[in-house]
Chains A and B, each alone.
Chain A
Amino acid sequence: MQPKHAIWIFSLLLAGNGAAAVADDLYLACHAGVSIAATDVRDVFLGEKQFLNAVRLVPVDNMAAQPAFLEKVLKMNGIKYATTWAKKSFRDGVNPPAVMANDAAVLEFIRRTPGGCGYLEMEPAEGVTVIAKY
């Protein structure tokens, strides 16, 4: 198998439903005690910023909203995202964000995980901090 093909498969795994339509709005939310700047969202989801003060930031992907998030926020496609994380993980020993199935899973995760951050298609209710709206 060629390397490019491997990354492609990896990106498909990360991207999930690549054929899903891009949502209208995206909400970037974090655990209630976490308040990152909107400009730090890209670094957080590419593994460049892993701590806020003494809190470890734990970004998670939302399979349903990933294409829209990659396009609107990170400005890259799934392959590029997967490749970046592959190199990042080999070089820095950092795991890529876990992939949640939908908003509910993401919301549940960031509510119970200190430092947890995720993006949602629906505006979250109380209990989390909304960092930005895209």
Chain B
Amino acid sequence: MKRTTDKLIALQFLAVVLPIAVVLLVQMAVDARRAAGLDHSRPLRILAEDARANYKTFTNGAADAVDTGTLGAQSVEALHTTAARLTELANRGETTVGDAAGVVQSLAAVIPRGATLSTLMPLRGRILQGDALTKAIADEFERRDEFVVKDAIASAVRQKRAVTGALFITAILTVLFVLATRRRLKAHMEADIAKERRRRAELETISIRFGVATRAAHAGVYELKREGLDLWWSDTMHELYAQSPTEFQPTLESWLSLIHPDDRQAAQTAITGAMRDQSQLRSQYRIVRPDGSVCHIASLAAVATDSVDSGARLVGIDLDITDRVEAEERERNLQRQLRDASRQAGMAEIATNVLHNVGNVLNSVNISAGLVTERVRKPRAAGLSKVVSLLKQHETDLGAFVSVDERGKHLPAYLAQLSEHLMLDQQVALQELDSLRKNIDHIKEIVAMQQSYSKLVGVPEKLVVAGLVEDALRMNIGAFNRHGVSLKCDFEDVPEIVVEKHKVLQILVNLLRNAKYACEASGKTDKQVVMRVAKQTEGVRIAVTDNGIGIQPEHMARIFSHGFTTKKEGHGFGLHSGALAAKDMGGALRVDSAGPGFGATFTLDLPLKSPETVYG
């Protein structure tokens, strides 16, 4: 409105001033040009007038000579002066001089001082010519002066007309602008009034919405002004702090007194910092209500100014986030429990694997032990004992017994056969004992691996990815062999990663077991699992691909959900815990499958460093 009015006033001013200013400027330019012309012609005119006056002095002297008979010296001097003036005029480029200078100079040359009438009379024609020429020059300058005067008069008349015209135009423009201004101002005022009404209605609507919203959100609104000296609270703010609007007078000090002592200093620092730095305020603190209950508050505020109040104000809201905080705490507890359960489950799975592998080895151990036992239990020692007993009975006639007695005759052959059998048993026993030792060493390695994982729980360490994957494969290779699943590895050179070893191993063992199960369930003859390790931009990717039964599309979204499983004996925990473990390490576990019968690929992306390592 004000801007429009200013524009109209400026236009009116221009309408009044501009025409007259243009007229005056044009007139000033014309006057200046005329003055310059006069300045230029004035000395020439003086010379011309002087020449004419001197020539008249000369001719008057000549006329007097008619009576006196002699031309006076003053007249002769005047003639020479005339010649000089005309010459100067000609030298200054005055074209009107023409032949005058020559004529007068010739007269001056032939008329000496004291010339008589008889000298002058023959020159009368040239004297008259000089008179006419000098008069013509003077007349020309007179004409010029007259022209200048006429031009000045005409200019003044034009100026008068122009000023009159300008005033007329100004008057018309002023009337038009006044009319236009009135109309526009009226329109603007009406528009402003309508706009103001709309704005008020909008403000009322906003106020109502704001009140409803703040009440529904349990949000209190506050406004802190004059460096914290003035504090305004909305009704909802009083409700939030459980303070009566009629009894509690909010000030910064009284406000801070309601904040939990442990959080008070931080809250005050945040408020004063936002006021001082004119920055946004985001703080969280607890308040203690009059009934002693503690409420968690999130305070969001910004410094604002407006055109009415020049001082900065901190306008903000306090939100009751007690439910959220408690929910977050519950969620944290659940997450912690879930992680623990996951960890235990992982450890259980690893232990199961270990036990399974140990069990497999123990089968061999049992077989070896059985064989040795069976060999040992064979009655070869009893036969030898009978031979010893016979030899003791015939120790006096041992020679006759061996050569005569029928039983003695068979004794050497029997001993030779017994010796061969004992040698054979010894070899078999040694072989089985060697196998037993190897199996016991294998069990020792498995147990040692389990012990190493147990010791490293929760500690990130720098690991070679290929070695980690090979450990996982080693734990499953027996099962792969028993179920006829071929394994193919495709490892790229990747950098070492810093992760918790047992978490990655837990994930990989689980993925390999699932892959083995999927292949086995497919009934295919070419069961195959492909293990890939590839480098990523900022991490490493480990992919387990099988050509097993695949995953139905509707199961894809739930595959990592807790309790979801497609295995008869599954408990729906392995993939869920694996996904959580991957997330804990700053990575991700994903699945891709073209559908039932087309196998599946589980992809584990791991960062080069887990978040605990980065920020810890």
The CA of A62 and the CA of B69, in the complex, are separated in Å by 29
The CA of A22 and the CA of B121, in the complex, are separated in Å by 29
Given the interface contacts A87-B63, A87-B67, A93-B59, does A3 sit within 8 Å of B116 by beta carbon?
Answer: yes
Contact assessment for B63 and A2 in the assembled complex, using a CB-CB cutoff below 8 Å: no
Contact assessment for A93 and B121 in the assembled complex, using a CB-CB cutoff below 8 Å: no
Contact assessment for A2 and B69 in the assembled complex, using a CB-CB cutoff below 8 Å: yes
The CA of A93 and the CA of B125, in the complex, are separated in Å by 9
Nearest A residue to B121 via CB reads A6
Interface presence of B124 (CB below 8 A): yes
Q: How many A residues touch B, CB cutoff 8 Å?
A: 17
Interface presence of A7 (CB below 8 A): yes
Contact assessment for B117 and A7 in the assembled complex, using a CB-CB cutoff below 8 Å: yes
Interface presence of A1 (CB below 8 A): yes
Contact assessment for A3 and B63 in the assembled complex, using a CB-CB cutoff below 8 Å: no
The CA of A3 and the CA of B593, in the complex, are separated in Å by 151
Nearest A residue to B60 via CB reads A91
Interface presence of B519 (CB below 8 A): no
Contact assessment for A1 and B124 in the assembled complex, using a CB-CB cutoff below 8 Å: no
Chain A, 84-98, contact with B by CB distance < 8 Å: what is the 0/1 string?
Answer: 001111110101000
The CA of A83 and the CA of B67, in the complex, are separated in Å by 8
The CA of A10 and the CA of B69, in the complex, are separated in Å by 14
Chain B residues within 8 Å of A, Cβ to Cβ: 59-60, 62-70, 116-118, 120-121, 124, 127-128, 131-132, 135
Given the interface contacts A3-B116, A7-B117, A86-B121, does A93 sit within 8 Å of B68 by beta carbon?
Answer: no
Nearest B residue to A95 via CB reads B128
Contact assessment for A90 and B116 in the assembled complex, using a CB-CB cutoff below 8 Å: no
Residues of B within 8 A of A91 (CB): 59-60, 62-63
Instruction: Name the distance in Å between B205's Cβ and chain A's nearest Cβ.
Output: 96
The CA of A90 and the CA of B405, in the complex, are separated in Å by 214
Contact assessment for A90 and B118 in the assembled complex, using a CB-CB cutoff below 8 Å: no
Residues of A within 8 A of B132 (CB): 93
Q: Considering the complex, which residues of chain A in the window 38-61 have a beta carbon less than 8 Å from any beta carbon of chain B?
A: none
Nearest A residue to B129 via CB reads A93
Residues of A within 8 A of B117 (CB): 3, 6-7, 86
Nearest A residue to B55 via CB reads A93
Residues of B within 8 A of A6 (CB): 116-118, 121
Residues of A within 8 A of B68 (CB): 3
Task: Tell me which of A7, A10, A83, A93 contacts B128 (CB under 8 A).
Answer: A93
Nearest A residue to B128 via CB reads A93
The CA of A83 and the CA of B132, in the complex, are separated in Å by 21
Instruction: Name the distance in Å between A87's Cβ and chain B's nearest Cβ.
Output: 4
Instruction: Name the distance in Å between B132's Cβ and chain A's nearest Cβ.
Output: 6
Instruction: Name the distance in Å between A98's Cβ and chain B's nearest Cβ.
Output: 13
